[in-house]
Amino acid sequence: MGRLFGQYLVGLAEEYVHCTPQDVTRLGSTALDLLSTVLAHHSHQDSAASGESGPHVLFLRICAFIVEHLRDPALGPEAVASAHRISLRYLHRVFQQNGTTPRAFIKQQRLDRCRKDLADPALDHLTIHTIAARWGYPQPDGFSRAFRTATGMSPSEYRAAMRSATPPPPS
């Protein structure tokens, strides 16, 4: 797994100068996904070798669960704790040990996906509300407030800024 990740990073470094800002965003997300896979792979091997599955492995499993269920507007700490058969208090402790909270992690993941989709020219046909709803923000006002707080601009301003950063297609 580590070798695969390393090869990806080498290829990314070699081709970086040819990437648009949107490419960099997508490739960065892919790099993070690969890194998470490498870490989960090694954590699983370490926990299997020692015969234990510590809080860090649980944290990785919970994070994977959250990412898989981001589209569900009802996803929250209570649903996550219930799905993993742990108490809400223990869920918060696991996230605290990793420097965040369940709610903050969910919000960050959703906003990251929304930013990625808003920057993607292939998704220009989707309205901002559609993008927000597909990542668990059914209320446009709530999404706009969260997005502005996180980025300092409205979703439409962000989308326009990403469009102006896109170089024109080669002629």
pLDDT tens digits for 79-113? 999 999 999 999 999 999 999 999 999 999 999 99
The angle that helices 140-151 and 155-165 make with each other, rounded to 10 degrees, is: 60
Domain limits for position 38: 1-46
Residue 166 has φ and ψ, to the nearest 5°, of -80, 125
Q: Per the domain annotation, does 153 fall within a domain?
A: no
Collect all residues with Cβ–Cβ distance below 8 Å to 7 and sequence separation of at least 6.
Answer: none
> Structural domain tally of the chain?
1
- Give the tens place of pLDDT for each residue, 48-74: 554 445 778 889 889 999 999 999 999
Q: Per the domain annotation, does 120 fall within a domain?
A: no
- How many residues are recorded in the chain? 171
Q: Per the domain annotation, does 145 fall within a domain?
A: no
